[in-house]
Structure 1
Amino acid sequence: MSGDYSETQVIVVGAGPVGLLLAGELRLAGTDVVVLDKLTAPTTESRASTLHSRTMEILDTRGLLDGLGDIPNDPSGHFGGIPFDLALPGPYPGQWKVAQTRLEEVLGQWAADLGADIRRGHELTSLTETGDLVTAEARGPDGTVSTVRAAYAVGCDGEHSAVRRLGGFEFPGTGAERELLRADVAGIDIPGRRFERLEGGLAIAARRPDGVTRVMVHEFGARPRPGAPSFEEVADTWKRITGEDIGGGTPLWVNSFGDASRQAASYRKGRLLLAGDAAHQQMPIGGQALNLGLQDAFNLGWKLAAVVSGHGGEALLDSYHEERHAVGRAVQANIRTQALLLLGGPEVDAIREVFAELTGHEDVRTHLAGMITGLDVRHGAGSQDPAAGLRVPQAGAVGEEGGTTVFELLRPGRGLLLLAPGDEARREELRAAAAPWRDRVRIATAAGADGEAGPAALLVRPDGHVAWSDGTPDTAPGEDLTAALERWFGPAALRPPRQAAPREAVRVTPVTAAREVRGGGTDRLAGRTALVTGSSRGMGRAAAIRLAEEGALVAVHYTSDGAAAEEVVASVEKDGGRAFAIRAELGVPGDVESLFGALEADLLERTGSTDLHILVNNAGVMGGVGPADITPDQFDRIFAVNAKAPFFLIQRALRNMPDGGRIINISSGLTRFANPDEIAYAMSKGALEQLALHYAKALGPRGITINSVAPGITRNGNPVFDIPEAVEQMASLSAFNRVGEPEDVADVVAFLATDEARWITGSFVDATGGTLLG
């Protein structure tokens, strides 16, 4: 049976931790993603339970640690069952115990909140690549086959990956020669065992707080069995090795894993990519397999999103294979060594003794700990730059006003230019060099520690690895930095933002002393700042340009089309104005703080203040679905973007807005003119008008005005405006016998933003060209 057809930008196959982290990373960057998983519900089997230091840093970088609750920490780890101290310098030393089920829950909620389309119970059955598209077919729970098309597809679907098989990836390596049986058992009481080597084999037992005991057992010389083991087989083997009878317990989960070691020859094949166990199969000793996969996803997500958005090219996407294949190869080598030490019989005892002695040497311990925790990873180790490829150091607070960590600065998923205190002239040179990338790279100043020496600046990728360091002060200003920015963040904006000349701070008052009323484009908004949401096109674009013509510094907000936003900035600057682009997805959790985090950083750099004088709530989505067909998800999305986001944007903006500020909400003539196909949209805009009405009274004492502007039929790039007959019919609804232009609405917005409109608040401004006259 045939089912739905849909399009997206990236298909992720597999809704385990790796696939969910990748989906969240893509959505954080504004990339549309569909996740397909053959399971109808998340698994209840907690296969892995260990997170290492680098993975903890990654989760902190995206603000996900709080959701995991109080995580037990164990500073000691092991290498092939030989215990040693894993702790290394950093915020998360040792290993951390988190059930895979809990990790999946947190990552799944995060990805869904960001707007990922997670389709459970959809098994991939076909995958084809044609030209610039990947087409996937998946069988749903009811047997219906649905089709999804995208620019790229990523297999995060485990060691038996359908993407790897259907995509024809080579998967060389060796099969399993040994296996470890494993079971979670309730109702048994046996001694705890940590890698206890007995005469006939290896036994491990650990009782969880809920009373369930995880047992793992290997019988020396035993070969892997075909298929999954039964609990009886696990209990029989346990009894032979330990003499203990666990057969009366209740098995909650039984499986086995072997020491197979395989790695895809390439992690990328055209528009198909692999991550996690789909890319590499290894024995999950010490939790390294899960951590390796999560780190794959973190490396790939921002790169793939950059390519989809047009900021990155083939070389950036190829760097995913180059970097992660080398890491995977190194991890597999250490796991094969550990498997031999762990599961080998008496013949490896002498080797184990030597290893145990070596771990007592600090340099050996440090080397092994870095290898297991992922803290020793350096991408592009052949670089002459001593810092390039390393994790960014966590040396104290950063930020223009202090008190912010590097992890927090990286949370929006953008790059970071981190400037060290010191040579102010050099810092300004670097700021100027990075200015054309401000939509993709945040700039901050480190609060360096006393006596600490290091590079004057670090360019940090969204995954927390250093892309460039300023270790050569005699280099021409910005020369090497520019090359690094182009390599990792794509071409510069069409035109770099001009540095604003110092201005005297403008404090807008409720009633300004008599001033000359001037025409448009005469700096009536000089010294003020404005944010226009959804301003990469249409009415928002026109409003941003118009406010800049009046002298305002304008933040051009966009969701996904960064190129269009930069074109607006370039247009403003070509005419002598000032603007910059910022990205944030609206209508999703964390949207307002993400937007204002970027906005405040940019305002501070350009003006020395985070004051926002003008807010234009223009971003919105229409429904286009009749009342009988609209779904709850569609309804919620319309209200989230059109009503909820403006409410909380205003709430947040008032912390930055001086007295006498201006708030302008773009409503719609459809709140007064019936269109059955846009009932939900009209309802959301009606809520927006109520927001202005009631807020006006609350903000009056501060001289802040808030008004609703209601456009009518306005040319917006829709193909219908290319049909003369349709335009003629739409024009007939206006008193002026024409359709509206974005500039018609922008002029109204500009007027309401000026002092001349100081006596207008809480109003509904009909900007429909007389369409509502009847």
Structure 2
Amino acid sequence: MAGDYTDTQVIVVGAGPVGLLLAGELRLAGADVVVLEKLTAPTTESRASTLHARTMEILDIRGLLERLDDVPNDPAGHFGGIPLDLRLPTPYPGQWKVPQTRLEEVLGQWAADLGADVWRGHELTGLTVTPDGVVADVRTDDGTRLTVRGEYAVGCDGENSAVRRLGGFEFPGTDAERELLRADVAGIDIPARRFERLEQGLVIAARRPDGVTRVMVHEYGSAPRPGTPSFQEVADTWKRVTGEDIGSGTPQWVDSFGDASRQAADYRRGRLLLAGDAAHQQMPIGGQALNLGLQDAFNLGWKLAALLNGHGSQELLDSYHEERHAVGQAVRSNVRTQALLLLGGPEVDAVREVFAELTGHEDVRTHLAGAVSGLDVRYEAGPGDGRMLGLRAPRGAAVTGDGTTTTFALLRSGQGLLLLAPGDEGRREELRALAKPWTDRVRVATALPTDGSAGADGADGATGATGTLLIRPDGHVVWSDGPGETGLTAALERWFGPASPRTARPAARSAAPSRESRESQESHDRPTPRTSATAAAGKRRNGMERLTGRTALVTGSSRGMGRAVAGRLAQDGALVAVHYATDGAAAHEVVASIERDGGRAFAIRAELGVDGDVEGLFADLEEGLLDRTGSTDLHILVNNAGVMGATSAAEITPEHFDRIFAVNAKAPFFLIRRALRNMPDGGRIVNISSGLTRFANPDEIAYAMSKGALEQLALHFAKSLGPRNITINSVAPGITRNGNPVFDIPEAVEQMAALSAFNRVGEPEDIADVVAFLATDEARWITGSFVDATGGTLLG
């Protein structure tokens, strides 16, 4: 840890599933995040294992389901132990079995890939709210004390939340009156049981594929015991209720949970917020507690990030409490009912019989299934009476400029979505024009027509029958173009901020050094201070605007080498599309800087390496080009965005490996293929590779492999593009100043500089000059080449 103070934008306390999902959501929108977790390592206990339909939809919307691999599904759920068919119109009916440990692993890797800092072994001990932020006092596992300062803090730290306690949140409700003992036990062989009610109590037993059996038992009339029960207590209770002896088994994990029911009076107190079990406590029946918390985080993340990015309002952030507190109340109510039905003794048998009879009626079944699965949530969305208003938007087919995709894939970048109804082309163009000032925050696509019936995947939400839909980043519909409906502009302003983007302040950089494996699609580099050397390198030829009348797309150009390339191309006369993945504030600052110097630029956002990335990027790019030039021609493409590895061959995971290749090799291939539809003859393509394809570094094997694949694009595309006079080349930077703290250490810089023939490290402008040359007509006779821009590092 560098220094006693660390600055960030959001302090998230708790690295469980809720905290990790929230951290990922915030980073997806460009907010700086530090996650404090008192445990030194992820828990090995899978307290929860059930995901419901709405949570599965959320994971699909963020592209996380494929990381979970095959997930077992069971359409048969329950309500207080009474069988309940959970099948509803959704792509993911029923309940899905994902151990909490696996879910935390996936969410943790996703958040880390997006750049979230997760500090394990860091316990929150004090919390002070100031007029302009929050100050957190932290104690590390070795006793070191430090301070973290942020603009907001969010407690995702469970039922015994330190944020809730230190922040003075009221937590009214009732204490537990009943409890259910649980244990994962190896080495026992007992019959499987599903909510079996015996004379003395309730028992559940389910054997996992690994041979471990999870047992749960409640003895009628027993009161909750203080602390964690011993395995002997579980075995004794099991024997009294069933007559079976499981005491010879080996316990893997033992705990209990009661029917306590509490909820924070407020989910927000100024700069402090609560999510998950920190905000509400209820019996975790059927996994509803975990799902409720994950859905809290999904609701909160984009709203808090919008406020930090300068286009969200305090009222938008307040809507987090308004929406999720009401949902929490409803879930607590149905869970209390279930707890009574599940743990009550013979006195509830008659009530259970009535409930069982009622669930045989379809309207009752669908009502209860919607409540358990989270599919029934409807938020107040403003004026209008469209049947979809306030509900989640189902996954339906949609078409963009680059082909067919789904509404879920279009939400993957964390932006909103204006889903235009098929049919009246004039009306579609009118709505598209109204939404144009928000295209940096709202994507536009056209729904494919269907017959209007609700299929198994709930695709009726994307049909002409529902009209055009405005969909928030969390997938809920906030405006629909039904008969006589107007007010799209008002809805856009309410949920996505002012039409004219404000110049947001750059995101605060953490004073703690980021790990070198942090992935960044903004560029391979961190923000670089402009030194006297870079200023000297930045002096350009006056009057030599060699690229006037041309357009350029530079991926990952909100900082580092990408920023330098965008600035240089703009100075030479090109209109530049500044692409970014998450840091909108930085990208708009690049645009402002270019415009201050007399150039032209605009920002576009797209996450690369995910489904729908290329079509989404080009839909926004074409709109930006058409608006500014009257054409969608793209003359120059610079593939700069990339992610680092910094992981040895022995430690890299398949998921990390796939992510590196998805961004560094796959995305450039499909970007080139798509760009060729817009590129006139004589166009220029430049791929930013790396000197590591020629210089060994064992910790960057996967990265070097991906860059080697990238270089093949230049070699092979060059042959086919020659007849069109389109050139394609690879530029390989070496050690280039990138804002890493190591460049502030004179001894380290001296050692790195010694590797160069020029006895200095590279500057971003060094690379920008090479790219700018290759983008001009002067480089018309160079194609398929590997340009060594390492400053002679590869000379040996």
Q: Which TM-score band (shorter chain)?
A: 0.7 to 0.9
- 1:189 is paired with a residue whose SS is coil
Aligned to 1:487: 494
Q: Does 1:71 align with 2:93?
A: no
Residues 583 and 211 of structure 1, relative CA distance in 2, 3 Å threshold: same
Aligned to 2:325: 325
Which range is displaced more, 306-315 or 548-557? 548-557
Q: In the alignment, residue 412 of structure 2 is paired with which amino acid? A: R
Alignment of 1:684-695 (within 5 A): none
Q: Does 1:212 align with 2:235?
A: no
User: Whose radius of gyration is greater, 1 or 2?
Assistant: 1
- Give the drift of 1:307: 1.4
What is the CA–CA distance in structure 1 between the aligned matches of 2:643 and 2:64, rounded to whole Å? 29
Tell me the alpha carbon deviations over residues 253-287 of structure 1, each in whole angstroms, 9 at most, x when there is no partner. Answer: 11111110000111111111111000000000111
- 2:642 and 2:663 in contact (8 A); partners too: no
- 1:461 and 1:467 in contact (8 A); partners too: yes
Aligned to 2:685: 663
- 1:190 is paired with a residue whose SS is coil
Q: In the alignment, residue 471 of structure 2 is paired with which amino acid? A: V
Residues 767 and 84 of structure 1, relative CA distance in 2, 3 Å threshold: closer
Alignment of 1:282-321 (within 5 A): 282-321=282-321
- Give the drift of 1:75: 1.0
What is the CA–CA distance in structure 1 between the aligned matches of 2:97 and 2:662, rounded to whole Å? 37
Alignment of 1:547-558 (within 5 A): 554-558=576-580
Tell me the alpha carbon deviations over residues 544-571 of structure 1, each in whole angstroms, 9 at most, x when there is no partner. Answer: 5775688865322245553564466689
Aligned to 1:455: 466
Q: In the alignment, residue 158 of structure 2 is paired with which amino acid? A: G
- Give the drift of 1:140: 1.8
Aligned to 2:775: 753
Alignment of 1:118-133 (within 5 A): 118-133=118-133
Q: Does 1:602 align with 2:609?
A: no
Tell me the alpha carbon deviations over residues 419-473 of structure 1, each in whole angstroms, 9 at most, x when there is no partner. Answer: 1111111111111111121111111111120355423311111111112111145
- 2:553 and 2:637 in contact (8 A); partners too: yes
Name the Cα RMSD after superposition. Answer: 4.5
Tell me the alpha carbon deviations over residues 59-81 of structure 1, each in whole angstroms, 9 at most, x when there is no partner. Answer: 11111112222211111111111
- Give the drift of 1:333: 0.5
Residues 767 and 374 of structure 1, relative CA distance in 2, 3 Å threshold: closer
What is the CA–CA distance in structure 2 between the aligned matches of 1:474 and 1:178, rounded to whole Å? 51
Candidates 729, 738, 741, aligned match of 1:706: 729
Residues 610 and 251 of structure 1, relative CA distance in 2, 3 Å threshold: farther
Which range is displaced more, 203-212 or 656-665? 656-665
Which range is displaced more, 547-556 or 33-42? 547-556
Aligned to 2:407: 406
What is the CA–CA distance in structure 2 between the aligned matches of 1:591 and 1:30, rounded to whole Å? 17
- 1:532 and 1:555 in contact (8 A); partners too: yes
What is the CA–CA distance in structure 2 between the aligned matches of 1:295 and 1:131, rounded to whole Å? 29
Alignment of 1:759-774 (within 5 A): 759-760=781-782, 762=785
Alignment of 1:270-419 (within 5 A): 270-380=270-380, 383-386=383-386, 387-400=388-401, 402-419=403-420
- Give the drift of 1:483: 1.4
Aligned to 1:84: 84
- Give the drift of 1:594: 7.7
- 2:311 is paired with a residue whose SS is coil
Residues 688 and 72 of structure 1, relative CA distance in 2, 3 Å threshold: closer
- Give the drift of 1:6: 1.9
What is the CA–CA distance in structure 2 between the aligned matches of 1:51 and 1:621, rounded to whole Å? 31
Q: Does 1:436 align with 2:437?
A: yes
Aligned to 1:506: none
- 1:533 and 1:556 in contact (8 A); partners too: yes
What is the CA–CA distance in structure 2 between the aligned matches of 1:759 and 1:360, rounded to whole Å? 76
Aligned to 2:553: 531
Alignment of 1:64-213 (within 5 A): 64-213=64-213
- 1:70 is paired with a residue whose SS is coil
- 1:385 and 1:468 in contact (8 A); partners too: no
What is the CA–CA distance in structure 1 between the aligned matches of 2:588 and 2:111, rounded to whole Å? 27
- Give the drift of 1:597: 4.6
Unaligned segments of structure 1, at least 5 residues = 497-518, 623-629, 669-678, 680-685, 717-739, 769-774
- Give the drift of 1:90: 1.1
Report the number of matched residues.
698
What is the CA–CA distance in structure 2 between the aligned matches of 1:74 and 1:646, rounded to whole Å? 38
Residues 194 and 136 of structure 1, relative CA distance in 2, 3 Å threshold: same
Q: In the alignment, residue 283 of structure 1 is paired with which amino acid? A: M
- 1:619 and 1:642 in contact (8 A); partners too: no
What is the CA–CA distance in structure 2 between the aligned matches of 1:196 and 1:620, rounded to whole Å? 54
Report the TM-score when normalising by structure 2. Answer: 0.77
Q: In the alignment, residue 394 of structure 1 is paired with which amino acid? A: R
Residues 293 and 269 of structure 1, relative CA distance in 2, 3 Å threshold: same
Q: Does 1:249 align with 2:249?
A: yes
- 1:26 is paired with a residue whose SS is helix
Report the TM-score when normalising by structure 1. Answer: 0.79
Residues 213 and 541 of structure 1, relative CA distance in 2, 3 Å threshold: closer
What is the CA–CA distance in structure 2 between the aligned matches of 1:292 and 1:693, rounded to whole Å? 46
- Give the drift of 1:581: 1.5
Q: In the alignment, residue 427 of structure 1 is paired with which amino acid? A: R
Q: Which is bigger in relative contact order (C-alpha 8 A, separation at least 6)?
A: 2
Residues 709 and 286 of structure 1, relative CA distance in 2, 3 Å threshold: closer
- 1:181 and 1:256 in contact (8 A); partners too: yes
- 1:403 is paired with a residue whose SS is strand
What is the CA–CA distance in structure 2 between the aligned matches of 1:279 and 1:328, rounded to whole Å? 9
Q: In the alignment, residue 110 of structure 2 is paired with which amino acid? A: W
Residues 258 and 457 of structure 1, relative CA distance in 2, 3 Å threshold: same
- Give the drift of 1:689: 12
Q: Does 1:422 align with 2:423?
A: yes
Residues 580 and 596 of structure 1, relative CA distance in 2, 3 Å threshold: farther
- 1:245 is paired with a residue whose SS is coil
- Give the drift of 1:543: 6.1
- 1:525 and 1:551 in contact (8 A); partners too: yes
Tell me the alpha carbon deviations over residues 212-262 of structure 1, each in whole angstroms, 9 at most, x when there is no partner. Answer: 111111111111111111111111111111121212221111111111000
Q: In the alignment, residue 422 of structure 2 is paired with which amino acid? A: P
Aligned to 2:481: 470
Which range is displaced more, 106-115 or 749-758? 749-758
- Give the drift of 1:384: 3.2
What is the CA–CA distance in structure 1 between the aligned matches of 2:376 and 2:788, rounded to whole Å? 61
- 1:2 and 1:146 in contact (8 A); partners too: no
- Give the drift of 1:690: 11
Residues 445 and 607 of structure 1, relative CA distance in 2, 3 Å threshold: farther
Alignment of 1:46-61 (within 5 A): 46-61=46-61
What is the CA–CA distance in structure 2 between the aligned matches of 1:393 and 1:647, rounded to whole Å? 32
- 2:63 and 2:412 in contact (8 A); partners too: yes
